[in-house]
Structure 1
Amino acid sequence: MKFLKSVSRYMKPYWDKYIIGILWLVVIDTTVIYVPQIMRNFANDYQNGMLTKDRLATYALLTLGAAVLMSIGRYFWRVCLFGSARRIEYDIRRELFEHWLKMDRDFYNHNKVGDLMAYATNDINAIRNFTGQGIMMSVDSSFMLIFTLVMMVRTSGLKLTVLTLIPVPFSAALIISYGGMFFKIFKDRQVAYAKLSDTTTEAFSGIQVIKAFVEEDHANDRFEEANQNYYQKNVNVIKKTTFLFPLMVLMAGLSYMLVIYLGARYVINGTISLGDFIAHYSYVGIIMWPARSLGMIINMIQQGSVGMERIKSMLKVEPKIKEPENPIALPRNKASVEFKNVSFKYPSSNRYALRNVSFKLEDGKSLALVGKTGSSKSTILKLIFREYLPDEGEILIDGVNVADLDLNMLTEKAGYVPQDNFLFSESIAENIAFAFDEEIDQKYIEDAAKMSGVYNDVTSFKKGFDTILGERGVTLSGGQKQRVSIARALIKNPKLLVLDDSLSAVDTDTEKVILDQIAKLQSTMIIVAHRISTIKNADEILFLEDGAIKERGNHDQLVELDGEYNQMYQNQLLESEMEAWDE
């Protein structure tokens, strides 16, 4: 079947462990089958008056030896089989995470965090259950079934064996016939779990907004709906699968009834001995395990099959932006950016976000992007870092088309401060030094903090740079988060520095200090801002409107032009004067 073929790829590196584990299972199964023979011989000796103290001691020691051997064997098969299943779980989760890291922004625009979490938890857990417990039960029940049937026939004959096991094939056939239904209900449950996970994650991420707008009731209703849906799907699974276990108990009861009725008659007639009857009775109990496990095995196969199908479908998703086969390296000591007649529209839109945009930013120069909200300033930055590719025109980084370059080299020599200012739930020092895999000198962290104007804020905290931030940096103010994010970019001493409205939460005095410090780096800089004071000293300013360049020049030239830029500038001057008057 497709599922077994797919999962065998992950099991292949651990075949030796599986073989060792299976061999121990066979040893245990053989021992389990042998125990009723001890009881059989014991009963026959007692019935025939041949039970002596020495034989009694021998039977006791054999029983103890079997228990010790089974204990040792169970330890080793658990280590081999369950340990391998955990390794497979680790391998799949790592492969899935590495795959997600390669995906482009459009992928994350269309896949919610909760859905992705369901893949990394429930789906992989279902696969692990099959590769561990499922494999164990399949092998164990198969060997146990074969060995037990052989011993039953040898002990009490074929006729009694067949008669006492009549209920078993009927229950097995019924269980197998429900396989398709199980697949559907397990898949429905996985989808419901993904929805619940997404709803919960979204609520926790936006808890401040929910409370600020007094939307707790609405958030609770959404969670209740998702929770109720997941509950109903679980109840449906329980209703559809729970009948298997009572059915197995019923079949076992019927088999025991037949053993007692028919076996007793065989003993009375002298066809079999009392010891044969006791052994046969024990074997019926043993063979019920393979029969009962059949339902559990089918459940695990179906759940694992659903999980594997979802994981495979996720791994098949290809990023729309791929690394070139032979990427071109970039020089490390300079950075220039050029747009040649670039037009672009987002995948989910028919409207162009950028229209025929052209500019050239020389090494060591600064470029500012300004305009009203929605004028596609940030879109230009996304195209530079190849989050998307243009529909028309060319984007050149150091003279190399962005589609052909080694993107890692660009990101290594670039410092990027996005609007989001995302911070991790780690210390401030770890957030600033995020770009470095190895531990770096504390001095570099402090120097970057000084350049970004956040040093004094950090040192005022009780634990200083070792202060652990809350989720997404929630324990810091907006301005502090922005400045920590800037320090994270500056510590790289970037040749290309990109600031996407990264000074909006700081006052103009702090802004000036930060910009003066940044100027000392002599980096090529692209800065997006709404505040004119942030970008007035840039070598070139592009005023964007509706995705096109409407005005361009330096600050003085644009003021003299007396267009949209100057109008924005005059409005901001007036606002500043009014604020000063109010103070």
Structure 2
Amino acid sequence: MKHFKRLKDFLIKNKWSYILGVLWLLIVDVLQLLVPEVLRRFTDDVSSGHLTREGLLRYGLYIIAIGIGIAFFRFLWRMYIIGVSRRLEYELRNKLFTHLQSLSTNYYNTHKTGDLMAHATNDINAIRMALGPGVVMMTDAIFMTAIAISMMSTTTDLRLTFFALIPLPFLAYAIGKFGKKINARFKSVQEAFSALTDTVQENFAGIRVIKSFVQEEAEVKKFSDKNRFLFNKNMTLVKLFGMFHPFIQLMASLSFLIAIFYGSTLVIYGQISLGDFVAFNSYLSLLVWPMMAIGWVINMLQRGAASMERINNILDVEPEIVDAPDAIDLDNFKGDIVFDNVTFKYPNSDYNALENFSVYIPSGSSLGIIGKTGSGKTTIINLLLRLYDIEEGTISLDNHNIDKIKLKFLRDNIGYVDQDSFLFSTTIAENIAFGVDNFSMDEVENVARIAEVHENIIDFTNGYETFVGERGVTLSGGQKQRTSIARALIKKPQILIFDDSLSAVDTDTEEKILQGLKDEMKNKTTILIAHRISTIKDCNEIIVLDEGKIVEKGNHLQLLQSKGLYYEFYQKQLLEEKIYNE
């Protein structure tokens, strides 16, 4: 039960729901235990010839009254115990999702989406079952067993009770053995389910790539293999259950066999009445469910413990990027940026993504960054957003070390347009206004005009209320990029970052967007990363990166005159434009 310690606060907060639920459950159990007593008296009256019409009616009313009581209190315990387990499911899923949101970017580089989805579904459901139906079955198993055995021994015959219950110790031992195996096999099933979920999620996300490379059959085979693996793991669990439950029923049958053989002998010799014998068998039949419930409880608790362990493994992960104890918000933030001798290597990487990188970007100025693929351009932005922490060098904003600035303040004041231009499955308006709490349609339309996407949007049937598909697939690459630009602008940040975010638009549209951005960039610090020189040629300063190092620095004309790597890029792009125009 050590895995459930994390739920201590929830259980304390909801203790009265559990206490009252168990109370109603015990009342149901007591009412069920009254049935054998009614049958005892009814049978004795029948065998003695004392049963009258009024007595028959009275016994019938007793059974009906007991049935109504059982139904009423059963409803109550379900509302309390099952209800609180559903509340646990709700709160634990919220807690897991909130924690996942707090984890650093690097966590998602090593953990698959499908696996995390399985934690939020199957695992949490298994925990709910353990602390909902599991509590019910455990209460039944303990209370019904104790009271039924007590009634059997005190109202019928102690020797008969002893012999009938001989199989119980063997049952308890077997359940303990089965429980350990169930736990191990259930963990294997959950892991196989996670792998299957991950395959499905990955396929749906990349369906266009799969179709364009005609890999449907290959992916179906891959899914079939994962599905077969899950099936086999489930079957190993089913086989164990196939032995588990019949074994419990066998033990129960042995008890009945002993009770019938020895009990009928006691009736024949007049040591107990026929009513006692009927009542005893009724109590014994009530014991069958608790005996089976013990198995179910062990199964549910083992499953719940296995799932809680998996959830705990996630909740125990600490975010790598957190606010320092003395982190502050900056007053009158201007947006001066300084990288001072920064060297950075990604986790599990063998080479430096940036090496001895230093640059000063004054407030209100613009910096263009160009370089080959893998030269470290996007790494600069990842570090500025504090998606990763650095170990060598410093990054400062307005003369404050970035580590001493609150993350929320830092990221609120940076408008970032990334290469992927990720959009959510909602309306275009809500995608544009994603980073702000309160917005007006005038603001949305204004930034859309600056990003040169307004005309495209109003051409849609539902305009700004048009729903985009998953990851924005119903929009073109250029429309997604421009929508992402509008999303960054509506935040009114002091720092604007465009990470190759105009690559999917033609040069004419690019020119219009940059022209529209001039007023927005006037008093803001702007970083433009691009492969096209036309995107960055008007920046106050341009740096050329190669293998994580600055190899050239200056404005457009200075870099052309130096005839280095920048000049090579420029000449290649002129040649490409010439070939394209021809």
Range of TM-score over shorter length: over 0.9
What CA distance in whole angstroms lies between the structure 2 residues aligned with 1:199 and 1:495? 41
2:472 matched to 1:490?
no
Secondary structure at the aligned position of 1:551 is classed as: strand
For residues 162-177 of structure 1, what are the structure 2 equivalents within 5 Å? 162-177=162-177
Alpha-carbon offset, residue 15 of structure 1: 0.7
Q: Give the structure 2 partner of residue 503 of structure 1.
A: 502
Q: 1:538 is matched with which residue?
A: 539
The one-letter code sitting in structure 1 at the alignment partner of 2:562 is L
Q: 1:307 to 1:456 in 2, by over 3 A?
A: same
1:477 equivalent in structure 2: 476
Partners of 1:342 and 1:297 in 2: CA distance: 57
236-245 or 424-433: bigger deviation: 236-245
Amino acid at match of 1:540: E
On the 8 A contact 1:155/1:279 being kept in 2, the answer is: no
Question: Cα offset for 1:12?
Answer: 2.2
Counterpart of 1:385? 385
1:513 and 2:533 matched: no
**Structure-2 separation of matches of 1:85 and 1:303:** 15
Asked if 1:14 is matched to 2:14, the reply is: yes
For residues 157-186 of structure 1, the C-alpha deviation after alignment (integer angstroms, 9 at most, x for no partner) is: 111111122223222221112222222111
Q: Per-residue CA shift, 1:494-553, capped at 9, x if unaligned? A: 211111100000011111111111111122111100001111111110110110001011
Could you tell me how far apart the structure 2 residues matched to 1:398 and 1:18 are?
A: 55
> How many Å separate the matches in 1 of 2:449 and 2:389?
36
The letter for the 1-side match of 2:391 is D
Q: Which amino acid aligns with 1:517?
A: G
- Determine whether 1:525 maps to 2:505: no
Structure 1: which amino acid aligns with 2:561?
A: E
CA, structure 1 residues 190+547, in 2 after alignment: closer, same or farther (shift >3 Å)? same
1:266-298 CA distance string (max 9 Å, x none): 222111111111111111110011111111111
- Distance in 1 (alpha carbons) for counterparts of 2:213 and 2:120: 32
Greater CA drift, 449-458 or 176-185: 176-185
Q: % of aligned pairs identical?
A: 44
In the alignment, which residue of structure 1 is the partner of 2:226?
226
Which segments of 5 or more consecutive residues in structure 2 lack a partner in the other structure? Answer: none
Aligned-pair CA distance for 1:9: 4.1
- Cross-structure match for 1:44: 44
- 8 A Cα contact 1:427 1:465, kept in partner: yes
For 2:394, give the aligned amino acid.
E
Q: In 2, distance between residues paired with 1:211 and 1:10?
A: 48
Q: Decide whether aligned partners of structure 1 residues 344 and 458 sit closer, same or farther in structure 2, where only a CA change above 3 A counts.
A: same
Residue pair 1:29, 1:140 contacting (<8 A) in 2 also: yes
Task: After TM superposition, give the deviation of residue 118 of structure 1 in Å.
Answer: 1.6
Q: How does 1:104-253 map to 2 (within 5 A)?
A: 104-253=104-253
Is the CA contact 1:45–1:51 (under 8 Å) kept in the aligned structure 2? Answer: yes
Distance 2:225 2:177 in 1: 33
Read off the aligned partner of 1:378 and give its amino acid letter: T
Mapping of 1:418-497 within 5 angstroms? 418-438=418-438, 440-497=439-496
One-letter amino acid matched to 1:538 = C
Task: Give the drift of 1:3.
Answer: 3.2
Give the TM-score normalised by structure 2. 0.97
How much does 1:49 deviate? 2.5
- 1:396 is paired with a residue whose SS is strand
Structure 2: distance between partners of 1:174 and 1:445: 67
| 1:576 alignment partner AA | E
Spell out, residue by residue over 1:238-262, the C-alpha distance to the aligned partner (whole angstroms, 9 max, x if none). Answer: 1112212111222222222222222
Conserved? CA contact 2:140–2:293, under 8 Å = no
How many angstroms apart in 2 are the aligned matches of 1:277 and 1:524?
A: 91
Q: Give distance in 2, aligned partners of 1:423 and 1:151.
A: 67
SS at match of 2:106: helix
Amino acid paired to 1:532: I
User: In 2, Cα distance between the equivalents of 1:6 and 1:520?
Assistant: 53
Aligned mates of 2:325, 2:118 — CA distance in 1: 33
Give CA deviations for 1:331-384 in whole Å, capped at 9, x if unaligned: 355212110011111111121110111111111111111011111100000000
> Residue type matched to 1:441 in 2?
S
Instruction: State the Cα distance separating 1:131 from its structure 2 match.
Output: 0.5
For residue 478 of structure 1, what is the amino acid of its counterpart?
G
| Partner SS state of residue 331, structure 1 | coil
* Structure-2 change in CA distance of 1:450 and 1:191 (3 Å): same
Number of the residue aligned with 1:574: 575
1:409-424 matches, cutoff 5 A = 409-424=409-424
Q: 1:332 to 1:228 in 2, by over 3 A?
A: farther
Unmatched segments (≥5 aa) in structure 1 = none
Q: Distance in 1 between matches of 2:405 and 2:305?
A: 40
Per-residue CA distance 1:135-174 (angstroms, 9 max, x = gap): 1100121111111111111221111111122223222221
Tell me, what secondary structure is at the counterpart of 1:468?
Answer: coil
Task: Report the AA paired with residue 532 of structure 2.
Answer: R
- 1:47-86 maps to which residues of 2 (within 5 A)? 47-86=47-86
Conserved in 1, the CA contact under 8 Å of 2:560 and 2:566?
yes
- Which TM-score applies when normalising by structure 1? 0.97
Contact 1:345–1:391 (CA<8 Å) still a contact in 2?
Answer: no
CA–CA separation in structure 1 for the residues paired with 2:26 and 2:303: 26
The match for 1:339 is 339
Residue 484 of structure 1: how far off its partner (Å): 0.8
